[in-house]
Structure 1
Amino acid sequence: MTPPPNPARLDDLALSCRKLFLRRLEVMAHIGAHDFEKGVQQRLWIDVELYVPYAHSTPTQDRLHEVVDYDYVRAVVAERIAQGHVELQETLCDDLAERLLAHPGVRALRLSTCKPDVYPDTQAVGVEIVRIKPEPEPAP
């Protein structure tokens, strides 16, 4: 299990990285552990913040290939949702985080999912995680 992030490291990321975000990406997903959630799609909101070091997010030619593209995030989410039913939001968050952190330009992320239609007396129920890639080993 990954230890919780050190708050000082999160502060460092805020100073050394550009934060890219998608807010309230709405998808229809097969998700849920309860019987009434199986076999049906329900709305799911996904918020993603990617921390990308300035070296990987500062274009010199004003071209899309010089930065992490928002389409990458949307494609990762769509691919995972298309794989079928997942019972827990925790599982989905962990899966998405692993895939998004696989991008070489992404150093860290904050990701949340929430289901807005589960309970009539709440706006939404959800899960949020923060993940930071391990520091690269120094060259010998």
Structure 2
Amino acid sequence: MVAALLDPRLADCRRLFLRNYEVYINIGVHEFEKRGEQRVVINVELFVPLKETTPVEDKLHEVVDYDFMRATIAHRVGKGHIHLQETLCDDVAEAMLAHPQVRAVCISTEKPDVYPDCDAVGVEIFRFKEDQA
């Protein structure tokens, strides 16, 4: 993922992030996972052009509001059971990229409570708006 950050299409961008956002959701394909909610940790990085998101008046409407990230995630997880973390990442990325000021997004999800012998299992994706088709 680090190589994606070197892409010249991001040279004029500001990076916004939401780190370690914990949600409890119904996710998983195994029967034990379908019995209740699991803790999922979500990280989001949005890349927005400086030209469009540099405040002149120090007003919230001039930037991408952090609440947008949380609300977008809440909307998706509120739709019901998700089988795969890949689906969750893809859906959240697509919704984030729908924002007119977002050029690119990096999303990761982790399920920290699945296995006792590791910190977490997870998925990470990076997408450019222009690559969405």
TM-score interval w.r.t. the shorter chain? over 0.9
- Structure 2 unaligned blocks of 5 or more: none
Of residues 49, 55, 58, the one that matches 1:53 is 49
Alpha carbons 1:13, 1:51 under 8 Å: kept: no
- Say if 1:31 and 1:8 are closer, same or farther in 2 by CA, change over 3 A: closer
2:30 equivalent in structure 1: 34
- Say if 1:37 and 1:9 are closer, same or farther in 2 by CA, change over 3 A: closer
1:93 aligns with 2:58: no
In structure 2, what residue type is equivalent to 1:76?
Answer: T
For residue 8 of structure 1, report the CA deviation from its aligned partner.
7.3
CA distance in 1, matches of 2:111, 2:4: 31
1:123 equivalent in structure 2: 119
Show structure 1 runs of 4+ deviating over 4 A: 7-10
Alpha carbons 1:32, 1:88 under 8 Å: kept: yes
For residue 12 of structure 1, report the CA deviation from its aligned partner.
1.6
CA distance in 2, matches of 1:133, 1:72: 17
1:109 aligns with 2:105: yes
Alpha carbons 2:12, 2:49 under 8 Å: kept: yes
1:71 equivalent in structure 2: 67
CA distance in 1, matches of 2:65, 2:9: 19
CA distance in 1, matches of 2:19, 2:37: 21
- Structure 1 unaligned blocks of 5 or more: 136-140
For residue 103 of structure 1, report the CA deviation from its aligned partner.
0.1
For residue 57 of structure 1, report the CA deviation from its aligned partner.
1.5
For residue 9 of structure 1, report the CA deviation from its aligned partner.
7.9
Deviations along 1:19-40, whole A, 9 cap, x unmatched? 0000000000100011100030
In structure 2, what residue type is equivalent to 1:89?
Answer: Q
CA distance in 2, matches of 1:20, 1:8: 16
CA distance in 1, matches of 2:4, 2:123: 23
Larger Rg: 1
